[in-house]
Chains A and B, each alone.
Chain A
Amino acid sequence: MNNKVPNNRAWLLVLPMLVLVAFSAIIPLMTVVNYSVQDVLGPNARFFTGTEWFQSMLNDDALQAAFLRQISFSLIILAIQIPLGIGIALIMPKRGWQASAVLILITLPLLIPWNVVGSIWQIFTRGDIGLMGWGLRELGIEYNITRNAGDAWVTIILMDVWHWTPLVAMLCYSGLRSIPEAYYQAARIDRASKWAVFRYIQLPKLTNVLVIAVLLRFMHSFMIYAEPFVLTGGGPGSATTFLSQSLTTMAVGQQDLGPSAAFSLIYFLVILLVSWVFYTTIMNMQKDKPPHGGA
């Protein structure tokens, strides 16, 4: 793909898109920046505060706790979803009507509105009317997500695994399909073990899609809002209050413009920074390695 033609008139093709994205990204973002350095008391009473809001946000105990919860949540779901997704992709049928049927079934959770995902799990886990809640109670297991923080955590992680593992599986599945049959035949001739096939043929081919999968999953899990909001409402107490929910409460519930704007910017920058560090590290690691066949 190195045969691109230098042509600055290509800007004309990009322009309509740029206008639209600027309208929905740059203008709002500048508003946020504007609020983050001011104290707005009324339409005509605003004061420049500099970095004061940023400092108070970074030192806020509740937000630090929410941040730690958010990080642990993202790490836990990545640790579960990535291996599970690879595993499912490996056992998905490759052709025939079964392949289509499995594809449609697997993508199903991805297409359910996020608040409905919350509702589904809320219903499913209720002790009185939910299959899971009722089943656990019949088995004699103490389970109550509105009272027990541990139960709430397990349920939210289970819900997220249910909701998003299909994305990882689909990404890996499409990566696996791009491996030519000849590679497997060569492995058979060499009497390679299943593990060796996975380690030296399948995994290298999956690197690209796995990078995308980890990035997407990290980003989305870091912004999670609707599902835990519907399922637990952030409770019990604030045990499952994640960053987006803290932010919405602050911005819409309490109308604290300055602090919530500062918080927004820090939040956004953290996601950018982590994604960037992860991406450049992976890319540098790949550069050091000799390429595995044609990509």
Chain B
Amino acid sequence: MSYQLENTQRGEKYNTIFSKVSPAKRRNRTARAHWRSRLLLGLYLALMILPIYWLINMSLQTNSEILGSMTLWPQNLTFDNYIGIFTNSSWYMGYVNSMLYVAMNMLITICVALPAAYAFSRYTFIGDKHLFFWLLTNLMAPPAVFLLPYFQLYYSVGLFDTHIAVALAHCLFNIPLAIWILEGFMSSVPKEIDETAYIDGYSFPRFFVKIFIPMIRSGIGVTLFFLFMFSWVELLLARTLTATDAQPIGMIMTRTSTASGIDWGTLAAAGVLTIIPGILVVYFVRNHIAKGFALGRT
């Protein structure tokens, strides 16, 4: 820190000697640039929040108020839309279903991706590069391509309309993603740690669980965040593989449009409720997320 400080001061001195602008003016200028960038950022965030605010606003109004007149905030605050969702099992089961298959998918994915990512980060083996490339191609496969075959496959093995079917289907893109991220995190752990552990007499499974996994905790947390994100937001496959028992919330939301018009209030409330799990998850990983987006590679 002191080294940095000294350097800055030296820089300042150089600037004073060679530059026509005085240090005071220069500081003033950086302060102004600082405020300008804060202002721009604030503007972007405000514009970004606006559509979400509008959704929340509508979820707190009755349908007659929504359709009646333009109000920038709820005049007669009502929680009826939310109460309606929480007291109707066909509504809240949608959330339970979605959470269930997302959780299953995260569990399955992380269990098979951890050893595989370790293999890719530590060993070379026949066909490893081709295998890795093939894995990544699965990230590029449009879900629409797999719609029909999935339906037939899961129907024929009797998994249609179960949570596990959706969880397995989401493995298509989540496993490659998890391996990709975990491999980056694992490669940043020095190999000497593995070797020392083996010399100390650790068996591979014991080393892996007792030493290695705790070392890449934050990497695993970030990976789980990404798995949650992509499984939670996907609807096309989840919708195709379910009918009634495991229907995701996204599909149940389409029920709000009936012959007599769209139930805007309930639609908005259901939408708001789908955002909340995401906020919770991102809150838990907020300190690691910046590193996670670099996929462990910086």
Contacts and interface: CB of A to CB of B under 8 A. Distances in A.
A183 to B, nearest CB: 12
Contacts of A226: 235-236, 250
Nearest to B118: A13
B166 to A, nearest CB: 11
Contact of A4 (B124, B229, B289): B124
Interface string B137-152: 1111111111111101
B272 to A, nearest CB: 9
A16 to B, nearest CB: 4
B183 to A, nearest CB: 10
Contact of B147 (A6, A7, A114, A248): A248
A88 B44 CA distance: 8
Contact of A178 (B112, B120, B298): B298
Interface in A171-205: 171, 173-175, 177-178, 181-182, 185, 188-189, 191
Nearest to B151: A252
A100 B243 CA distance: 40
Interface in A17-53: 17-18, 20-21, 23-25, 27-29, 31-32, 35
A136 B229 CA distance: 33
B188 to A, nearest CB: 9
B140 A271 contact: yes
A159 B150 CA distance: 29
Interface stretch (A75-83, A142-150, A217-225, A281-289): A217-225
Contacts of B126: 8, 11
A32 B149 contact: yes
A10 B119 contact: yes
B60 interface: no
Contacts of A4: 121-124
Nearest to B19: A191
Interface string B232-251: 11111000100000000110
Given A21-B135, A185-B7, A275-B140, A113 B290 contact: no
A110 B229 contact: yes
Nearest to B70: A134
B283 A104 contact: yes
Interface in B279-298: 279, 281-283, 286-287, 289-295, 297-298
B28 interface: no
Contacts of B278: 108, 110-112
Given A177-B290, A225-B236, A191 B18 contact: yes
A5 B124 contact: yes
Given A17-B179, A119-B267, A185-B11, A28 B124 contact: no
Interface in B16-67: 18-19, 37-38, 40-41, 44-45, 48-52, 54-55, 58, 66-67
Contact of B271 (A5, A13, A116): A116
Most chain A CB neighbours (cut-off 10 Å) among B14, B145, B176, B292:
B145
A123 interface: yes
Interface stretch (B76-84, B85-93, B167-175, B209-217): B167-175
B255 interface: no
B102 to A, nearest CB: 11
Nearest to B187: A1
A272 to B, nearest CB: 6
B19 A162 contact: no
B14 A23 contact: no
Contacts, number: 291
A168 B69 CA distance: 38
Contacts of A35: 148
B295 A257 contact: no
Interface size class of B (residues with CB under 8 A): 35 or more
B194 to A, nearest CB: 10
Interface in A200-246: 208-209, 212, 219, 222-223, 225-226, 243-245
Interface residues of A, number: 98
B10 interface: yes
A27 B154 CA distance: 11
A283 to B, nearest CB: 13
B191 interface: yes
Interface string A92-112: 110000001011111111111
A185 B8 contact: yes
B182 to A, nearest CB: 11
4 closest residue pairs by CB, A with B: A111-B278, A178-B298, A28-B149, A10-B123
Interface of A: 1, 3-11, 13-14, 16-18, 20-21, 23-25, 27-29, 31-32, 35, 88, 90-93, 100, 102-116, 119-121, 123-124, 128-132, 134, 162, 166, 170-171, 173-175, 177-178, 181-182, 185, 188-189, 191, 208-209, 212, 219, 222-223, 225-226, 243-245, 247-248, 251-252, 257, 260-261, 264-265, 267-268, 271-272, 275
24 contacts: A5-B124, A14-B125, A16-B111, A18-B116, A24-B172, A28-B150, A103-B282, A104-B282, A105-B45, A110-B233, A111-B232, A116-B250, A120-B55, A128-B67, A174-B292, A177-B291, A178-B298, A189-B7, A212-B295, A223-B142, A225-B236, A245-B144, A247-B145, A248-B144
Given A16-B111, A111-B278, 18 more contacts: A7-B123, A13-B118, A14-B120, A16-B112, A29-B149, A91-B37, A108-B52, A113-B250, A114-B250, A121-B51, A123-B267, A162-B51, A188-B11, A212-B295, A251-B144, A264-B142, A264-B144, A272-B140
